Chain A
Amino acid sequence: MTGDGTDATFDAFCVAAYPRLVAALGHVVGDRAVAEELAQESLVRAHQRWRRVSQLDSPLGWAVHVGTNLARSHLRRRVLARRVDRQLTADAPTAHLDPDAAEAVAVRAAMAALSLPQREAVVLRFVVGLTAVEAGRVLGIEPAAVRARTHRALGVLRGRLAIDEPDDAGSTERRRHREDEEVRRAH
């Protein structure tokens, strides 16, 4: 325990995870302010369950999932509903967002075209860097379902962004394994 009564391992996780949480959840909800709030709330919940969360393969993935669930099940119906929904709409005004404008706006619009589960799969895999197996553990679904979500998401993203990301759905086991390894190495 640290001097202020917190767990040192949680402190370290908190500091390291927060920027990545904001980045990941920013892609999920399309709004940095909301993402920051979700990230903080996720960390609060992680703290409340830290003894268990710290034992997980990917506490960060867990926190991203919590944040996504919060965006879906809680905030959407509450105060931030309109704010989030507006950001999730492809043709929503985006001028107030990041100054790097064009590319960020394009990514945001492309991500907004995905369903929330698809968005979450993309974020867990390509932002957090989890393999399909790891993401499946976080989401509580089979790796094949993660790949299917990713596959569909990439299909949409390819139509909107100039990306060359290889697809992983419908591939052979060897390709899937290789793809998982590539993701692992990249992070």
Chain B
Amino acid sequence: MPTDLRELLERTAASPTTVVDPAEVASRSRRRTRQRRGGAALTGVALVALLAVVAWPGVVPGDGLVIEDRAADQPDVPVLDLPEGWVQVQVGAAVFGIPGELEVVEVDADDPLPCPNAGYRAYLATESYPVATHDEAGREYACNLAGNTAPQLFAAPLTAVPAAHLGDDAAWHPLPIGDLAGEWRLESPADTSTGPDDDGEDVADHGFADRTAWYRVPAVDLHLRFVTTEGDVDLVEAILATITPIGTAATGAPDDEPDEPTGTGRRGATGLDLPEGWTQVTIGDATFGVPTDVGTREFELDILELAPTEGPPCHNGLDRVRAYLAPDGYPTGVVQDRDPGGVPHTFGELVGFCRVPLATYTSLLAAPLGTVPVSVREQQYRDSQAPEPVRTAVTLPGGLRGERTAVGDHLVTYALPQVDLWLEFHDPQREPELVDRVLATITSPRPLEDVSEPDEPDAGGDDGPAQDLGSPGVIWVMPGADVRRFETPGSSLPPEGRIIRDQDELDAVWHGAGAGGSTDDERPVPSLRDDEVALLASFAYSTDGSCRGEVELTAVEFDGGTVTLVHEPSLIEPCVTPGGAWTVAALIPADTRHLADVVRVVAVERR
């Protein structure tokens, strides 16, 4: 007897075995916050609770946590050898030391900077930058400047600081900080005018202009701002000297756990000979190496972080780490929860909040090729001012063949269908050698498919029974060779392409194949010109009742010509009929010999 799904799910839902205590949840939340900011090294720090900010009492790792905190995923935090009385703090991807006499104050994103009256103070915004309104921030900042003669330190993750607050139009100067590349600048007198203070006096007149120094260290996602007196220069330099990336000088992992850096993706079976400090990852069917000196992490969905699948890729998180790995699928989105507004936005509004990546080093995003939306592969959402993509066929050192697409100097992508791998290098010009080194490490765990010649001269017209689509399959069709079939390892039935050369045949096949999808046989048969051929690509679906395939058909320009799609990609709906076959079509100039550069039909199994 059929039943309502809602009722069924309600009837069979799990019931909690315990009653939740909101106070305990809140308490755990606060402990979690403190643990993230503190660490064992902070035990004994003088505690000061001011307003709604939190000081650190010292935390027993894991105490009272519901489950492991995300911080537990991080590489072991190094314990610094600090001067007597200093404490270790963590902001961004760095740890550093500060004098113990500094009052340590956490600053929440929703709160304006508190206004101290006297004394040393270190404001730490470990997750985000305060998002007080301009007026509030100006008033509070003015308060800080006017009310203190003691040094103030403000620290936040660099990527959390809005570009407007960084003053990118000001002159930044290179500054080596240990082994890290940093930059610094002094706030110009004009910049320091934050509006009148409570007495109606502009704070710039207080003469602090030349004593506000800004530092940014992109490699460890750290932004520091010092408001100092002249005698504190040594203190600033001493603090800077302690900046250490998380993940270096780390203590060993427990014996019962694999010593695996955070977010290395799936471990490859192939042992690669990688440079020191690199780690081996597996994405798609490829194994390759990526550097871990800055940071490598699997792309994680924290909270509402991804935009629509077909949305414009806005990689405003790429500056946080050097390599983003997405073994389970291409992350097309933007970080919604970290914009200054703090409220998740709809897609349309979201675009306006994308932060500009800090192009201070080359970033890599890797994902299985089969999961990358067409809009991303074809750079359809690139900025209107961006140069036209330039596509070239490439053969990598290991023999892999694919397509390289460059969009100006700031983006280079590699589509490697033989190993189902997609690589995006953002700002490759920063570290061109990094790109070459990563590409040189790419290997396939199995013998490569030779895509240069067709396996079978003509696979068309064989309407066999529908079979499981299996793993993502990609076909590259070349009319000059009639048809090209490329079977992705693991796929029991790859997509199948067929070239139709005359109108009569097309008419017959069109109606017979149910072109356009089994739910829509009413579309008119395309008119085939003498100088065109038609490509029909069929996809068989699972017969076991599940429907796991999606198809996308796209075209790119070639030799000055353009492939005409019979159906716009947007009309190609995903898998509609279990056990059925589905056909998409394109009209292609008949003399095309290198259609691999022209039409790409991808069947993707979405999981």
Q: A14-B20, A48-B29 are in contact. Are A26 and B13 (CB under 8 A)?
A: yes
Distance from A183 Cβ to chain B, minimum over Cβ atoms (Å): 8
Instruction: Determine whether the beta carbon of B304 is less than 8 Å from that of A138.
Output: yes
A51 within 8 A of B: yes
Q: A48-B29, A159-B545 are in contact. Are A74 and B73 (CB under 8 A)?
A: yes
Query: Which among B10, B342, B575 is the interface contact of A52 at CB below 8 angstroms?
Result: B342
Instruction: Determine whether the beta carbon of B344 is less than 8 Å from that of A140.
Output: yes
Distance from B66 Cβ to chain A, minimum over Cβ atoms (Å): 4
Instruction: Determine whether the beta carbon of B6 is less than 8 Å from that of A37.
Output: no
81-118 of chain A: CB within 8 A of chain B:
98, 100, 103-104, 107-108, 113, 115-117
Give the residues in chain A near B573, CB-CB below 8 Å.
170
- Closest-by-CB residue of A relative to B111 is A51
1-57 of chain B: CB within 8 A of chain A:
1-6, 8-20, 22-23, 25-26, 28-29, 32-33
Q: List 20 A-B contacts (CB under 8 A).
A: A15-B20, A18-B20, A22-B13, A26-B14, A32-B15, A35-B14, A40-B25, A40-B66, A48-B29, A69-B301, A73-B298, A113-B546, A139-B304, A141-B309, A148-B574, A163-B8, A164-B2, A164-B4, A165-B6, A170-B519
Instruction: Determine whether the beta carbon of A127 is less than 8 Å from that of B9.
Output: yes
We find that the number of chain B residues with CB closer than 8 angstroms to chain A is: 66
Max count, chain A CB within 10 A of own CB: residue among B5, B23, B66, B305: B5
Give the residues in chain A near B307, CB-CB below 8 Å.
140-141
Instruction: Determine whether the beta carbon of B301 is less than 8 Å from that of A73.
Output: yes
- Closest-by-CB residue of A relative to B110 is A51
Instruction: Determine whether the beta carbon of A48 is less than 8 Å from that of B33.
Output: yes
- Closest-by-CB residue of B relative to A115 is B607
- Closest-by-CB residue of B relative to A3 is B23
Q: 8 smallest A-B Cβ distances: which pairs? A: A26-B14, A23-B13, A164-B2, A159-B545, A32-B14, A165-B5, A47-B29, A14-B22
Give the residues in chain B near A36, CB-CB below 8 Å.
14, 16-18
Distance from A21 Cβ to chain B, minimum over Cβ atoms (Å): 8
What per-residue 1/0 map shows which CB atoms of B281-305 lie under 8 Å from chain A?
A: 0000000000000000010111111
A sample of 16 more A-B contacts (CB under 8 A), given A36-B18, A66-B303, is A6-B26, A7-B26, A14-B20, A18-B20, A47-B29, A52-B110, A52-B337, A66-B302, A69-B302, A73-B300, A74-B300, A123-B9, A140-B347, A159-B545, A165-B6, A170-B573
Complex Cα gap A95–B606 (Å)? 31
Complex Cα gap A137–B306 (Å)? 11
Q: A48-B33, A152-B575 are in contact. Are A103 and B5 (CB under 8 A)?
A: no
Give the residues in chain A near B18, CB-CB below 8 Å.
36
Give the residues in chain B near A157, CB-CB below 8 Å.
5
Give the residues in chain A near B298, CB-CB below 8 Å.
73, 77
We find that the number of chain A residues with CB closer than 8 angstroms to chain B is: 83
Distance from B366 Cβ to chain A, minimum over Cβ atoms (Å): 16
B68 within 8 A of A: yes
B547 within 8 A of A: yes
Instruction: Determine whether the beta carbon of A145 is less than 8 Å from that of B309.
Output: yes
33-87 of chain A: CB within 8 A of chain B:
35-41, 43-45, 47-49, 51-52, 55-56, 62, 65-66, 69, 72-75, 77-80
Q: A18-B20, A39-B16, A152-B575 are in contact. Are A161 and B8 (CB under 8 A)?
A: yes
Instruction: Determine whether the beta carbon of A163 is less than 8 Å from that of B14.
Output: no
Give the residues in chain B near A156, CB-CB below 8 Å.
545-547
- Closest-by-CB residue of A relative to B33 is A48
Instruction: Determine whether the beta carbon of A152 is less than 8 Å from that of B67.
Output: no
Instruction: Determine whether the beta carbon of A155 is less than 8 Å from that of B5.
Output: no
Distance from A7 Cβ to chain B, minimum over Cβ atoms (Å): 8
B165 within 8 A of A: no
B563 within 8 A of A: no
Complex Cα gap A5–B241 (Å)? 39
Distance from B200 Cβ to chain A, minimum over Cβ atoms (Å): 32
Q: A15-B20, A79-B68, A115-B606 are in contact. Are A140 and B2 (CB under 8 A)?
A: no
